[in-house]
């Protein structure tokens, strides 16, 4: 679902390329990632990969690893329907959010807001 009918969902996150992750907010059962004035709510909790480590929610160091990305610029960001959202940072780390139907626990996996007139929902 999207509000921009003429844009491909695969390119929905292009506005965050070059922007820094400015905040990570832990809200009960989801996470909000702030990229300056754009926000991505991850209802399916992301996995973070950095160096030789891969961490998922609940593993020791997970929250620290997410927060350590604050201040890092986004090198690339993409969406593959029914697969996942992938955000690569300039430090070589990667954040991924599953969009695989079996991973959904509700109607949405992620919501991206880039101003009041651009909202994407997966």
- How much of the chain exceeds pLDDT 70, in percent? 93
* CA-CA-CA-CA dihedral for 106, 116, 24, 40, to nearest 10: 40
| Statement: residue 1 has pLDDT above 70 | no
Tokens in use for 22?
């400015």
Tell me the per-residue pLDDT of 6-39, one tens digit each, with 9 for 90 and over.
556 888 999 999 999 999 999 999 999 999 999 9
Token representation of residue 44: 């399916």
Q: Cα 102 from chain centroid?
A: 18
């Amino acid at each position: 679902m999207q509000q921009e009918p003429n844009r491909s969902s695969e390119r929905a996150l292009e506005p965050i390329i070059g922007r820094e992750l400015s905040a990570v907010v832990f809200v009960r059962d989801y996470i909000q990632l702030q990229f300056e004035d754009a926000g991505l709510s991850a209802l399916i909790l992301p996995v973070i990969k950095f160096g030789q480590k891969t961490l998922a929610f609940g593993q020791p160091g997970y929250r620290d690893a997410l927060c350590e990305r604050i201040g890092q610029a986004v090198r690339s960001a993409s969406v593959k329907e029914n697969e996942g959202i992938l955000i690569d940072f300039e430090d070589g780390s990667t954040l991924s959010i599953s969009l695989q139907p079996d991973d959904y626990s509700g109607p949405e996996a992620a919501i991206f807001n880039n101003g009041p007139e651009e909202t994407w929902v997966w």
